[in-house]
Amino acid sequence: MKQIVGIADMKVSNNPKESIITYSLGSCIGLVIYDPVVKVGGMLHYMLPESSIDKDKAATRPYMFADSGIPRLFKTAYNLGAAKQRMKIYVAGGAEILDQKGFFNIGKRNYMALKKMFHKNNVMINKQDVGGNVNRTVRIEIATGDIFVKTSGSKEVKI
């Protein structure tokens, strides 16, 4: 069974029959976490780096922003028995339009927001496929923790 993570959305699962997928990341970030011991996996699809631009929206749609979505993703996985020190982390997305510079480069800012939070909390990224000008779709199989990425117009590849 496929659990679909929409835009500004998150799913966590410990059901080995399930896979979690998010489509069309663009400049958004798809953050995938997996604890191989308890076989708990989760995925967050956030759109923007900081919730400070609109607190009301962050209150109703916390998964829209890196700073309000990422802690919730980890906490939900912990509630299913996952542990921080065992967690495998994969990051995809953060693409940019050509010549998209400075603060207008939302893809890069999305990625930097995550890096900053991970640095502060001693979390290491195991693998990533970020930046560039491509649109990505990411999928994780809960039974194995295998992660697959597809860019528009190409075939899905296991990473």
Using CB under 8 A as the criterion, which residues of the chain lie in contact with other proteins when the complex forms? 6-8, 23-28, 47-48, 53-54, 57, 60-61, 64, 95-104, 106-107, 132-136, 151-154
β-pairing verdict for 2-5 and 19-22: parallel
SS3 92: strand
Pick the catalytic residue from 10, 21, 25, 28. Answer: 28
Closer Cβ to other proteins, 12 or 28, answer by number: 28
The least CB distance from residue 7 to other proteins, in Å, is 5
Closer Cβ to other proteins, 39 or 109, answer by number: 109
Is the distance from CB of 149 to CB of 137 less than 8 angstroms? yes
Q: Which residues have a Cβ under 8 Å from the Cβ of 4 and sit 6 or more positions away? A: 11, 20, 21, 22, 23
Does 2 participate in catalysis according to the annotation?
no
SS3 97: coil
The least CB distance from residue 157 to other proteins, in Å, is 15
Catalytic residues: 28
